[in-house]
């Protein structure tokens, strides 16, 4: 299979490394200098050092063609940009007749609506005819590039897109499960980043394993409530893109979002925490859009709200925890309004 990966960050590069062992992959970088550096060194020294590109991977930049033109020479297109660039990329690919899937997780900052949109909602606005899906699940780029066992979810409302993603990435070290619940898969990917900041804060304040377990469990309940309100299926949140991705991101030492929480607990400012990462932490940018979307749907998300208050500087780390623990008693399960 011929695969085009648009975006040469850590995750896009890792998938190119993984798929390049069995397929022909073009790894496209927007910056020609970055593309030249990757091609010369045989690895992405900036975003994923230590992992060599296999012979099946070719590096390209706009000098070799823009995304829409390159897409026609490939059988599958993977958009590996941050959420902030998804709209622009899907707009460029709107006439593409190849399956397209994105990797980014989060809600877009408000553009055409007073609230942020998920990836499939952006696609519906700018490229409604695109055969599209999302590849998600618990996955750190370094482990994927190192061929360590990983399981992902290929989600789309089209069987041909799901089949293409499974054919491209299912292999000896990676299992890919098909799912037609794009809403649930995307909500899980977006909300878990916000909850990972909260869990990092909990660990940074040394609140203990009981507190961590409570945050992960109640965070999963918040994620599920929002997903159901948006039309997702409950069982999706007990799968890889829900519980699986939440556990990994909230507890894994490679998690950038968890790292933000740890640094805030140490007294670092948000600017200092983000700058120290060297990569995008999507939870920082999508926390407000998650909470605003939930508010408009009448869904309570107190943990996500506490993260927003912390990121906005309205409360100190210890105060955020005190606010959560000081809430009144409530039933463990709640009925959730659903979008019509």
Query: Hey, which residues are catalytic here?
Result: 192
Distance of alpha carbon 207 from alpha carbon 278, whole angstroms: 27
Distance of alpha carbon 237 from alpha carbon 188, whole angstroms: 7
Distance of alpha carbon 271 from alpha carbon 284, whole angstroms: 10
Quote the DSSP letter at residue 171: B
DSSP 206-255: T--HHHHHHHHHHHHHHHHHHHHHTT--GGGGGSIIIIIHHHHHHH-TT-
CA 59 to chain centre: 23
Residue 33: CA count within 13 A, CB half-sphere:
1
Query: Quick check: 144 and 150 in contact, CB under 8 A?
Result: yes
Distance of alpha carbon 203 from alpha carbon 95, whole angstroms: 47
> Are β-strands 48-52 and 43-44 bridged in parallel, bridged antiparallel, or unpaired?
antiparallel
Tell me the three state secondary structure of residue 138. Answer: coil
Query: Quick check: 138 and 240 in contact, CB under 8 A?
Result: yes
Q: Nearest 10 degrees: CA dihedral of 37, 39, 43, 46?
A: 20
Q: Which residues contact 31 (CB under 8 A, 6 or more apart)?
A: 61
Distance of alpha carbon 69 from alpha carbon 132, whole angstroms: 18
Query: Quick check: 187 and 338 in contact, CB under 8 A?
Result: no
Q: Where are the alpha helices (DSSP H) in 72-133?
A: 86-92, 119-126
Q: Which of 149, 165, 100, 144 is nearest to 126 (CA)?
A: 100
Residue 27 bridge partners (DSSP): 5, 59
Distance of alpha carbon 331 from alpha carbon 308, whole angstroms: 24
């Amino acid at each position: 299979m011929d695969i085009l990966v648009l975006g040469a960050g850590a995750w896009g590069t890792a998938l190119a490394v993984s798929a390049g062992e069995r397929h022909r992959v073009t790894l496209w970088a927007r910056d020609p200098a970055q593309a030249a550096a990757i091609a010369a060194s045989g690895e992405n020294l900036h975003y994923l050092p230590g992992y060599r590109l296999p012979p099946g991977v070719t590096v390209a930049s706009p000098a070799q063609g823009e995304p829409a033109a390159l897409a026609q020479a490939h059988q599958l297109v993977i958009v590996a940009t941050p959420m902030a660039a998804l709209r622009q990329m899907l707009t460029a690919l709107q006439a593409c007749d190849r399956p397209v899937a994105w990797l980014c997780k989060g809600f877009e900052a408000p553009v055409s609506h007073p609230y942020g949109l998920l990836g499939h909602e952006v696609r519906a606005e700018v490229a409604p005819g695109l055969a599209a899906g999302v590849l998600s699940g618990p996955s750190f780029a370094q482990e994927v590039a190192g061929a360590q066992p990983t399981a992902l979810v290929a989600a789309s409302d089209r069987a041909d897109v799901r089949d293409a993603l499974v054919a491209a990435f299912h292999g000896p070290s990676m299992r890919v499960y098909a799912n037609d619940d794009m809403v649930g898969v995307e909500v899980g990917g977006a909300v878990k980043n916000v909850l990972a900041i909260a869990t990092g804060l909990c660990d940074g304040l040394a609140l203990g394993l009981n507190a961590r377990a409570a945050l992960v469990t109640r965070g999963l309940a918040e994620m599920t409530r929002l997903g159901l309100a948006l039309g997702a299926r409950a069982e999706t949140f007990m799968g890889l893109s829900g519980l699986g991705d939440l556990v990994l991101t909230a507890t894994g030492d490679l998690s950038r979002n968890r790292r933000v929480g740890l640094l805030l607990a140490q007294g670092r400012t948000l600017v200092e925490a983000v700058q120290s990462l060297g990569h995008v932490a999507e939870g920082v940018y999508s926390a407000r859009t998650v909470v605003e979307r939930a508010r408009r749907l009448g869904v309570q998300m107190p943990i996500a709200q506490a993260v927003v208050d912390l990121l906005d500087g309205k409360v100190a780390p210890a105060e955020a925890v005190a606010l959560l623990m000081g809430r009144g008693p409530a039933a463990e399960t709640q009925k959730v309004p659903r979008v019509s």
